[in-house]
Structure 1
Protein backbone atom coordinates (compact mmCIF):
# COMPACT_ATOMS: atom_id res chain seq x y z
CA UNK A 1 0.00 0.00 0.00
CA UNK A 2 1.28 3.44 -0.88
CA UNK A 3 1.07 6.36 1.52
CA UNK A 4 1.13 10.06 0.82
CA UNK A 5 1.92 12.30 3.78
CA UNK A 6 1.97 16.10 3.86
CA UNK A 7 2.43 18.46 6.80
CA UNK A 8 2.57 22.24 6.88
CA UNK A 9 2.23 25.07 9.36
CA UNK A 10 -0.87 27.25 9.34
CA UNK A 11 -0.92 30.71 10.88
CA UNK A 12 -4.23 30.08 12.66
CA UNK A 13 -5.25 28.36 15.86
CA UNK A 14 -6.26 24.69 15.82
CA UNK A 15 -9.81 25.78 16.72
CA UNK A 16 -9.98 28.06 13.68
CA UNK A 17 -8.60 25.31 11.45
CA UNK A 18 -11.02 22.76 12.92
CA UNK A 19 -13.97 25.06 12.27
CA UNK A 20 -13.19 24.80 8.55
CA UNK A 21 -11.99 21.19 8.53
CA UNK A 22 -15.08 19.75 10.21
CA UNK A 23 -17.42 21.33 7.63
CA UNK A 24 -17.49 18.10 5.62
CA UNK A 25 -19.85 19.34 2.92
CA UNK A 26 -18.22 22.69 2.19
CA UNK A 27 -14.78 21.75 0.84
CA UNK A 28 -15.29 23.87 -2.29
CA UNK A 29 -16.25 26.94 -0.22
CA UNK A 30 -14.08 26.75 2.89
CA UNK A 31 -11.17 24.29 2.71
CA UNK A 32 -10.01 24.28 -0.91
CA UNK A 33 -11.87 26.92 -2.94
CA UNK A 34 -10.82 26.88 -6.57
CA UNK A 35 -8.96 23.59 -6.21
CA UNK A 36 -12.31 21.94 -5.47
CA UNK A 37 -15.13 23.45 -7.53
CA UNK A 38 -18.15 21.66 -6.05
CA UNK A 39 -19.14 19.47 -3.12
CA UNK A 40 -22.52 17.77 -2.81
CA UNK A 41 -23.48 16.05 0.42
CA UNK A 42 -25.58 12.87 0.46
CA UNK A 43 -25.95 11.58 4.05
CA UNK A 44 -22.40 10.59 5.14
CA UNK A 45 -20.91 10.83 1.65
CA UNK A 46 -19.72 13.90 -0.24
CA UNK A 47 -19.28 14.06 -4.00
CA UNK A 48 -16.23 16.24 -4.60
CA UNK A 49 -15.46 17.79 -7.99
CA UNK A 50 -11.91 19.01 -8.48
CA UNK A 51 -10.89 21.82 -10.83
CA UNK A 52 -9.31 19.32 -13.22
CA UNK A 53 -12.65 17.50 -13.60
CA UNK A 54 -11.88 14.56 -11.31
CA UNK A 55 -14.92 13.53 -9.28
CA UNK A 56 -14.59 11.47 -6.09
CA UNK A 57 -17.23 10.18 -3.68
CA UNK A 58 -15.84 10.29 -0.14
CA UNK A 59 -17.58 8.68 2.83
CA UNK A 60 -17.03 10.17 6.26
CA UNK A 61 -15.31 7.67 8.57
CA UNK A 62 -14.61 9.82 11.64
CA UNK A 63 -15.10 13.41 12.73
CA UNK A 64 -13.34 13.84 16.08
CA UNK A 65 -13.49 17.29 17.68
CA UNK A 66 -11.32 16.18 20.63
CA UNK A 67 -8.33 15.45 18.37
CA UNK A 68 -9.46 17.84 15.58
CA UNK A 69 -9.18 15.01 13.06
CA UNK A 70 -11.36 14.02 10.13
CA UNK A 71 -11.04 10.70 8.30
CA UNK A 72 -12.74 9.69 5.06
CA UNK A 73 -12.56 6.99 2.40
CA UNK A 74 -13.13 7.07 -1.34
CA UNK A 75 -16.13 4.96 -2.31
CA UNK A 76 -16.53 5.96 -5.95
CA UNK A 77 -15.58 8.37 -8.66
CA UNK A 78 -13.10 8.63 -11.49
CA UNK A 79 -9.88 7.48 -9.75
CA UNK A 80 -11.00 3.85 -9.18
CA UNK A 81 -8.79 2.94 -6.21
CA UNK A 82 -9.20 -0.49 -4.71
CA UNK A 83 -8.48 1.18 -1.36
CA UNK A 84 -8.31 4.83 -0.33
CA UNK A 85 -8.50 6.36 3.10
CA UNK A 86 -7.33 9.76 4.20
CA UNK A 87 -7.23 11.89 7.30
CA UNK A 88 -6.58 15.53 8.06
CA UNK A 89 -5.75 16.81 11.51
CA UNK A 90 -5.17 20.19 13.16
CA UNK A 91 -2.36 19.72 15.68
CA UNK A 92 -1.50 22.57 18.07
CA UNK A 93 2.00 24.03 18.07
CA UNK A 94 3.61 25.66 21.12
CA UNK A 95 3.20 29.14 19.57
CA UNK A 96 -0.58 28.79 19.15
CA UNK A 97 -0.49 27.99 15.45
CA UNK A 98 -1.43 24.72 13.78
CA UNK A 99 0.51 21.88 12.22
CA UNK A 100 -1.79 20.55 9.50
CA UNK A 101 -1.32 16.81 8.94
CA UNK A 102 -2.76 15.21 5.80
CA UNK A 103 -2.27 11.49 5.31
CA UNK A 104 -3.59 9.22 2.54
CA UNK A 105 -3.23 5.47 2.04
CA UNK A 106 -4.08 4.12 -1.41
CA UNK A 107 -4.09 0.94 -3.49
CA UNK A 108 -3.01 0.20 -6.12
CA UNK A 109 0.41 1.72 -5.61
CA UNK A 110 0.23 3.29 -9.08
CA UNK A 111 -2.29 5.81 -7.71
CA UNK A 112 0.28 7.20 -5.28
CA UNK A 113 1.74 9.51 -7.93
CA UNK A 114 -1.55 11.17 -8.96
CA UNK A 115 -2.70 11.39 -5.31
CA UNK A 116 0.64 12.93 -4.34
CA UNK A 117 0.27 15.45 -7.16
CA UNK A 118 -3.24 16.34 -5.91
CA UNK A 119 -1.89 16.85 -2.41
CA UNK A 120 1.06 18.98 -3.58
CA UNK A 121 -1.24 21.21 -5.65
CA UNK A 122 -3.95 21.31 -2.99
CA UNK A 123 -1.80 22.01 0.07
CA UNK A 124 -1.04 25.69 -0.72
CA UNK A 125 -4.73 26.29 -1.49
CA UNK A 126 -5.76 24.67 1.80
CA UNK A 127 -3.15 26.62 3.75
CA UNK A 128 -4.25 29.94 2.22
CA UNK A 129 -7.93 29.18 2.88
CA UNK A 130 -7.26 28.24 6.49
CA UNK A 131 -5.19 31.36 7.13
CA UNK A 132 -7.87 33.52 5.47
CA UNK A 133 -10.49 32.00 7.79
CA UNK A 134 -8.81 33.35 10.94
CA UNK A 135 -11.05 35.52 13.05
CA UNK A 136 -10.24 39.26 12.80
CA UNK A 137 -8.99 39.54 16.38
CA UNK A 138 -6.23 36.95 15.70
CA UNK A 139 -5.19 38.08 12.24
CA UNK A 140 -1.85 39.89 11.94
Structure 2
Protein backbone atom coordinates (compact mmCIF):
# COMPACT_ATOMS: atom_id res chain seq x y z
CA UNK A 1 0.00 0.00 0.00
CA UNK A 2 1.34 3.42 -0.97
CA UNK A 3 1.23 6.23 1.55
CA UNK A 4 1.17 9.85 0.39
CA UNK A 5 1.45 12.78 2.77
CA UNK A 6 1.20 16.50 2.06
CA UNK A 7 1.81 18.90 4.90
CA UNK A 8 2.05 22.66 4.69
CA UNK A 9 1.50 25.87 6.64
CA UNK A 10 -1.25 28.34 5.80
CA UNK A 11 -1.17 31.96 6.86
CA UNK A 12 -4.72 31.87 8.20
CA UNK A 13 -6.37 30.84 11.46
CA UNK A 14 -7.33 27.19 12.01
CA UNK A 15 -10.94 28.28 12.52
CA UNK A 16 -11.11 29.96 9.10
CA UNK A 17 -9.40 27.08 7.32
CA UNK A 18 -11.60 24.49 9.04
CA UNK A 19 -14.73 26.40 8.04
CA UNK A 20 -13.72 25.91 4.38
CA UNK A 21 -12.49 22.31 4.69
CA UNK A 22 -15.60 21.06 6.50
CA UNK A 23 -17.80 22.38 3.66
CA UNK A 24 -17.32 19.08 1.81
CA UNK A 25 -19.93 19.82 -0.84
CA UNK A 26 -18.26 23.02 -2.05
CA UNK A 27 -14.62 22.04 -2.63
CA UNK A 28 -14.87 23.27 -6.25
CA UNK A 29 -15.80 26.75 -4.99
CA UNK A 30 -14.04 27.13 -1.66
CA UNK A 31 -11.05 24.76 -1.39
CA UNK A 32 -9.59 24.01 -4.83
CA UNK A 33 -11.36 26.14 -7.45
CA UNK A 34 -10.22 25.35 -10.96
CA UNK A 35 -8.58 22.06 -9.92
CA UNK A 36 -12.01 20.64 -9.07
CA UNK A 37 -14.70 21.88 -11.44
CA UNK A 38 -17.79 20.40 -9.79
CA UNK A 39 -18.83 18.78 -6.53
CA UNK A 40 -22.22 17.40 -5.63
CA UNK A 41 -23.46 15.43 -2.68
CA UNK A 42 -25.67 12.35 -2.85
CA UNK A 43 -26.42 11.40 0.76
CA UNK A 44 -22.99 10.73 2.34
CA UNK A 45 -21.17 10.43 -1.00
CA UNK A 46 -19.41 13.35 -2.66
CA UNK A 47 -19.10 13.21 -6.45
CA UNK A 48 -16.03 15.19 -7.50
CA UNK A 49 -15.15 16.23 -11.06
CA UNK A 50 -11.54 17.27 -11.59
CA UNK A 51 -10.33 19.63 -14.31
CA UNK A 52 -8.49 16.72 -15.99
CA UNK A 53 -11.81 14.90 -16.49
CA UNK A 54 -11.43 12.37 -13.67
CA UNK A 55 -14.67 11.84 -11.72
CA UNK A 56 -14.62 10.07 -8.36
CA UNK A 57 -17.26 9.15 -5.82
CA UNK A 58 -15.97 9.72 -2.30
CA UNK A 59 -17.73 8.32 0.74
CA UNK A 60 -17.47 10.95 3.47
CA UNK A 61 -16.40 8.76 6.38
CA UNK A 62 -16.18 11.46 9.06
CA UNK A 63 -16.32 15.20 9.66
CA UNK A 64 -14.83 15.73 13.12
CA UNK A 65 -15.24 19.32 14.32
CA UNK A 66 -13.25 18.76 17.51
CA UNK A 67 -10.23 17.36 15.66
CA UNK A 68 -10.80 19.56 12.56
CA UNK A 69 -10.53 16.44 10.42
CA UNK A 70 -12.36 15.17 7.34
CA UNK A 71 -11.93 11.53 6.26
CA UNK A 72 -13.11 10.07 2.98
CA UNK A 73 -12.71 7.00 0.76
CA UNK A 74 -12.95 6.70 -3.02
CA UNK A 75 -15.64 4.11 -3.70
CA UNK A 76 -16.38 4.55 -7.43
CA UNK A 77 -15.66 6.63 -10.49
CA UNK A 78 -13.44 6.84 -13.53
CA UNK A 79 -10.34 6.22 -11.40
CA UNK A 80 -11.18 3.63 -8.78
CA UNK A 81 -8.23 2.12 -6.94
CA UNK A 82 -8.61 -1.12 -4.99
CA UNK A 83 -8.29 0.97 -1.84
CA UNK A 84 -8.14 4.73 -1.36
CA UNK A 85 -8.64 6.32 2.03
CA UNK A 86 -7.63 9.85 2.90
CA UNK A 87 -7.93 12.40 5.65
CA UNK A 88 -7.34 16.12 5.83
CA UNK A 89 -6.73 17.76 9.18
CA UNK A 90 -6.14 21.32 10.32
CA UNK A 91 -3.80 21.84 13.27
CA UNK A 92 -2.91 25.10 14.99
CA UNK A 93 0.73 26.14 15.09
CA UNK A 94 2.27 28.30 17.80
CA UNK A 95 1.92 31.46 15.67
CA UNK A 96 -1.85 31.14 15.16
CA UNK A 97 -1.43 29.82 11.63
CA UNK A 98 -2.73 26.52 10.32
CA UNK A 99 -0.86 23.34 9.58
CA UNK A 100 -2.70 21.38 6.88
CA UNK A 101 -2.03 17.63 6.96
CA UNK A 102 -3.35 15.46 4.12
CA UNK A 103 -2.68 11.73 4.22
CA UNK A 104 -3.68 9.27 1.51
CA UNK A 105 -3.36 5.48 1.50
CA UNK A 106 -3.86 3.78 -1.85
CA UNK A 107 -3.51 0.43 -3.60
CA UNK A 108 -2.32 -0.67 -6.03
CA UNK A 109 1.04 1.03 -5.63
CA UNK A 110 1.13 1.81 -9.36
CA UNK A 111 -1.51 4.51 -8.82
CA UNK A 112 0.61 6.32 -6.23
CA UNK A 113 2.52 8.45 -8.74
CA UNK A 114 -0.55 9.87 -10.48
CA UNK A 115 -2.42 10.39 -7.20
CA UNK A 116 0.64 12.06 -5.68
CA UNK A 117 0.83 14.42 -8.68
CA UNK A 118 -2.85 15.33 -8.27
CA UNK A 119 -2.39 15.83 -4.52
CA UNK A 120 0.59 18.10 -5.17
CA UNK A 121 -1.45 20.21 -7.61
CA UNK A 122 -4.34 20.35 -5.17
CA UNK A 123 -2.02 21.34 -2.32
CA UNK A 124 -0.62 24.26 -4.31
CA UNK A 125 -4.13 25.56 -5.00
CA UNK A 126 -5.23 25.03 -1.38
CA UNK A 127 -2.25 27.01 -0.07
CA UNK A 128 -3.20 29.92 -2.32
CA UNK A 129 -6.96 29.71 -1.72
CA UNK A 130 -6.74 29.33 2.06
CA UNK A 131 -4.18 32.02 2.82
CA UNK A 132 -6.90 34.65 2.91
CA UNK A 133 -9.98 34.62 5.12
CA UNK A 134 -12.79 32.56 3.61
CA UNK A 135 -15.99 34.18 2.49
CA UNK A 136 -19.45 32.95 3.40
CA UNK A 137 -20.39 29.37 2.54
CA UNK A 138 -21.07 28.79 -1.12
CA UNK A 139 -19.16 31.82 -2.37
**Could you state the TM-score of these two structures normalised by the residue count of structure 1?**
0.94
What is residue 62 of structure 1 aligned with on the other side?
Answer: 62
* Offset of residue 127 of structure 1: 1.1
Matched, 1:7 2:7: yes
Matched, 1:89 2:89: yes
- Verify the 8 A CA contact 2:11 2:132 in the aligned structure 1: no
* Offset of residue 72 of structure 1: 0.2
- Verify the 8 A CA contact 2:49 2:56 in the aligned structure 1: yes
What do the CA deviations read for 1:19-61 (whole angstroms, capped 9, x no partner)?
A: 0000010010001000000001101001000000000100100
What is residue 34 of structure 1 aligned with on the other side?
Answer: 34
CA distance in 1, matches of 2:95, 2:76: 40
* Offset of residue 132 of structure 1: 2.8
CA distance in 2, matches of 1:133, 1:39: 22
CA distance in 2, matches of 1:134, 1:60: 22
Query: Which consecutive unaligned segments of at least 5 residues does structure 2 have?
Result: none
RMSD between superposed Cα atoms in Å: 1.0
What do the CA deviations read for 1:46-94 (whole angstroms, capped 9, x no partner)?
A: 1000000000100100100101000000010111200000000000000
